[in-house]
Amino acid sequence: MKNYSIYKYFLLSVIMAPIYIFSQENIDPFSWLEKIDSPKSMEWVKAQDTVTVDALKKFPQFQNIYGNNLKILNSKERIAYPSIVGKYIYNFWKDSVNERGIWRRTSFDGYLNASPNWETVLDIDSLSKADSVTWVFQDANFLYPDFNLCLLYLSRGGSDASVIKEFDLKTKKFVNNGFQLPEAKQSVGWIDKNSVFVGTDFGDGSMTSSGYPRIVKKWRRGTPLSEAKTIFEGEPGDMGVWGYEINTPERSYQFVQRSKTMFKFENYTIANDSLVKLEFPEDGQINGIFKNQILLELKSDWKTGGKLYQQGSLISIDYDKFINGSRDFLLIFKPGSRESIISVNNTKNFLLIDKLNNVRGELFRYELKNNKWSGEKISAPDYGTIDVAATDDFSDRFFFDYANFLNPTSLYLYEEGGSIRKVKILPEFFDAGKFEVKQYEAISKDGTKVPYFIIMNKDSKYNGNNPTLQYAYGGFEISMKPSYSATVGTAWLNRGGVFVLANIRGGGEFGPKWHLSAIKENRHKAYEDMIAVSEDLIKRKVTSPKHLGIMGGSNGGLLVGVMLTERPDLYNAVVCQSPLLDMKQYNKLLAGASWMDEYGNPDTPGDWAYIKKYSPYQNIFNDKKYPPVFFTTSTRDDRVHPGHARKMAAKLESFGKPVYFYEYTEGGHSAGVTNKEVAFENALTYSFLWMQLK
């Protein structure tokens, strides 16, 4: 068990503003919408929400889509995903009775029963009522190895910022005078029962320009936070600094990570009460420690100890030998041209590597013997996505799940002896037998082959008339993988829609190279890939611009925002969720400064020269025709500022363009907190898509 946590409307009325001649040199006429909670901003938000809801609820199938989606989200037949903690299986659960959720646990054997006997540990609805705060459960950091205490992360309304409170898992109560911190974007990790690493807002410039801790301290129980001892200080321009401990059955290890940017790090270990810098590549990622081996994933080629290790590889070295100067690394895994590592986990005796091979999941088990790694593929279902769901440092049993587009997600248990059995499965929320999945490749502008999946009815005709929804992300080395979505199945496929998942550059589908090929000055390649997939769908007569819509959130919201402004002729509907859009200002809004490794620095003339070519907010023009667009965001999103979506909607509306806008007052960087809220936004979204694309 690892004990560390580092680091998700057409405005039919309203003011018709005059036409603005908008350039970067002019004052932004909608900057007032960046004031998140100002009465003027919230009045505007309320007006847009009302207009949008009134318009989209008129779609005849709105209530049916909402009801079906809520039924799915509240279904008691959903998989209760496990977290193995000591002798218990923990799970967080929401349904119609527990709208904000209950944190609960059961025994390992009890979990395998059809109807586990769950013990409630903390009722978030009751806590919210008692505190008069709309709490959202974020995380729990357990004290190793007894797991009788934990540090609970609770968020107000779903924001990334959290309140931290110590919780006793025996009494199921908060600890009187225990470790507790007020709301901030922060990190706290156990060192032992009476001390923790803490990075928080200490005041006096202790936070970075990205809004994360710049200073790590060691804080002892019973002492004021002001007396905590400083361990490390980063720079104001860093993304953040994190102190954490990795616990293994053999021993514990203490680390400090300075995240200079999102992808560049300085790593230190604490040995004999001193900080020792680990001479790793800045873009190397520590993936834990197993059998005293530091696991390092490489994002670029690295030559050390007389050997060259390939980009995307996972290598290891004995912790003590490395500290004493050895550079004799062991190769665990070297990816092929179409392979990438998705996650690295471990059991008591085995290392588990979950990887993609041409965007299809595979799971491997590795063992260290005689100073050499050997691996074998675990016999898991093929042609889908495999994710390790829960592991345990004290045994070799673990859970993994398997999903593809048409088969309900299944949870498997890998037993100590190597046998595998299915222990949980989602019900079939829609009839998948009438659909088929195909994988095609589009050719991007520079000749790169871009894969995409298409899910459609077997009887669909290639006549260009199919309502088609294309989804993509394309950033931060995040892979888009096949998955089972009951919402897509019931709200879209069952009604005659075609769904497309595009694996464009910027993601991690083919490793670090696929990601790095579309950052900063090459960002346009991700957008060219998206266009190539759209054009390929039209060329194959799957659909046509009249029936083609796109959807994306966060960085994917930026993606579809660029599609809106660069190729409005290709689409008839755009769903833009929690988006970045004003790329001139993004680095000054909330956590935006932490993403300059991905996009560049708009305050630098050289970077702004390429950013301004695609920044959606700066590339809306009155004389251009745009397809209808639906923006969604959250007032409590403290990661991507809601001002992006607000300003973009207001500017388009001022030009008389077709815009819908909806903003939740809670939910953070996601769609709502309760199942009702999520189902409602889904109903708005699919009603919009059907109104436009049918």
Residues involved in catalysis: 554, 669
Spatial CA neighbour of 502 closest among 558, 448, 440: 440
In angstroms, the CA 639 to CA 163 distance is 16
What count of other Cβ atoms lies within 10 Å of the Cβ of residue 421?
9
The contacts found for 332-335 with CB under 8 angstroms, 24 or more apart, are: 332/295, 332/366, 332/373, 332/375, 333/364, 333/366, 333/375, 334/309, 334/310, 335/310, 335/511
Helix (H) and strand (E) counts in the chain: 13, 39
In angstroms, the CA 222 to CA 194 distance is 8
Q: Which two tokens stand for residue 221?
A: 């129980």
Residues contacting residue 666 through CB under 8 Å, at least 6 positions apart: 134, 136, 157, 158, 634, 635, 636, 672, 673, 677
Answer for the pair 559, 474: CB distance below 8 angstroms, yes or no: yes
Spatial CA neighbour of 657 closest among 58, 21, 11: 11
Continuous segment of H or E residues that includes residue 46: helix 39-56
Spatial CA neighbour of 202 closest among 188, 222, 192: 188
In angstroms, the CA 366 to CA 81 distance is 25
Spatial CA neighbour of 294 closest among 283, 303, 284, 305: 284
Compute, in degrees rounded to 10, the torsion defined by CA atoms 411, 245, 287, 240: 110
Spatial CA neighbour of 434 closest among 383, 493, 478, 522: 493
Burial of 620 (0-12, 13-18, 19+ CB in 10 A): buried
Beta-sheet strands, E only, within 503-608:
548-553, 573-577
Continuous segment of H or E residues that includes residue 76: none
Residue type, 358: N
Give the single-character DSSP code of 483: -
What count of other Cβ atoms lies within 10 Å of the Cβ of residue 675?
22
Answer for the pair 289, 246: CB distance below 8 angstroms, yes or no: yes
In angstroms, the CA 617 to CA 629 distance is 14
